Amino acid sequence: MKKITQILFLFSLLSFTTYAAVNDFCVADLKGPDTPSGYQCKPPNTVTADDFVFSGLVAGNTTNTFNAALTSAFVTDFPGLNGLGVSAARLDIAKGGSIPMHTHPGATELLILAEGQITAGFMTPFHLYSKTLKPGDVMVFPQGQLHFQVNSGNDKATAYLAFSSANPGAQLLDLLLFGTSLPSDVIAQTTFLDVEQVNKLKARFGGIGIADS
């Protein structure tokens, strides 16, 4: 009895502590609209420990074109990350597989190699920054840079990825160049690829291109 009174007393004296939950985190309400700084916050009194845990950053199925799988824990998967400027993913690449050239327009990527061997790199004009990584190596791909990861070993490779954004995006170069309705001659003019090459890859990647104009 005395304890309850004391606690209520504490509350009245230190009522400012009740605001702590408001600003110390902002779990995304994914049903609401997004803003430039992230999603609206769930009401603090509905937040539970489950909002801060994501389950399922496990090996993806690599029996596909790339012999690779990326499993993401971005804010759209894991609302607790909202506004906190960090997210994660898991990369599994079967022998001979690769993650093709891609960018994250709004995030730096950190790759922690857990198992196997990966050759990875990014490029700036006329410069290649590439290394063959072994377990325990960490490589950083600065924000917005075009980069790739190839399994260059004899077994499968597993890596954990961290990003400097809760929603880093991921843009595969082939889907940008060959997955839309951009006419082949414009692609050829602005990439110096031969039109035949462009058409061949449009056939592979471009069938659902949507012209937004």
Binding residues for its own copies restricted to 10-69, rule: CB under 8 A:
10, 13-14, 16-26, 29, 32-41, 47-58, 60-61, 64-66, 69
| Minimal distance, residue 70 CB to its own copies, in Å | 6
Q: Is 133 helix (H, G, I), strand (E, B) or coil?
A: strand
The pattern of x and - marking residues 74 through 93 that bind its own copies according to CB under 8 A reads x-x-x-xxxxxxxxxxx---
Does residue 123 bind its own copies (CB under 8 A)? Answer: yes
104 marked ligand binding residue? yes
**Which CB atom, from 89 or from 155, has the smaller least distance to its own copies?**
89
Going by C-alpha positions, the residue among 131, 123, 174, 177 that lies closest to residue 147 is 123
Q: What does 57-112 look like in DSSP terms, one character per residue?
A: --PPP--STTSEEEEEE-TTT-GGGTTSS-EEEEEEE-TT-EEEEEE-TT--EEEE
Question: Do residues 91 and 68 lie in contact, with contact meaning Cβ atoms separated by under 8 Å?
Answer: yes
Q: How far is the CB of 87 from its own copies (least distance, A)?
A: 7
* Contacts of residue 100, Cβ cutoff 8 Å, sequence gap at least 6: 66, 148, 172, 173, 174
Footprint on residues 140-199 left by its own copies (CB under 8 A): 140-146, 148, 150, 160, 162-165, 167-177, 179-182, 186, 189-194, 197
Q: How far is the CB of 85 from its own copies (least distance, A)?
A: 4
- Binding-site residues for oxalate, in ranges, read 104, 109
